[in-house]
Amino acid sequence: MDWTDYLRFLFALIFVIALMGGFWLVLKKLGLSGPIVAVGQRRLKILEIMPIDSRHRAVLLKRDDTEHLVILGPTSETVIETRINQSCDASEKSS
């Protein structure tokens, strides 16, 4: 290999890096890069996650002022309880 082969390799590398950068700029311009961030106040929160076994998890979600208990598995999700009353928790803590 002589110096022209090294020069050709260097130009090819620069070309590929420039193509990747251009593709990234196009994706950024279209809004497809990076995480989606909600504007304003967020309505959905994950309050607690508890593993049930190696493949299932119990997740306590809060949307607005309502809590939902969901079991998540690898291929399905099941709503166990919805509209959990938070006032029960407050009365138990005060007792």
Instruction: Put residue 31 in one of left, alpha, beta given phi > 0 → left and psi -120 to 50 → alpha.
Output: left
Tell me the pLDDT band of 93, cut-offs 50, 70 and 90.
very low
> pLDDT of 24-66, one tens digit each?
888 888 777 666 666 677 788 899 999 999 899 999 998 888 8
Domain boundaries, the chain: 1-37, 44-94
pTM, full prediction: 0.48
In the block, tokens 């890069």 appear at 33
Tell me the pLDDT band of 87, cut-offs 50, 70 and 90.
low
b/e per residue, 46-71, with b = 16+ CB within 10 A? eeeeeeeeeeeeebbbbeeeebbbee
In the block, tokens 């119990």 appear at 58
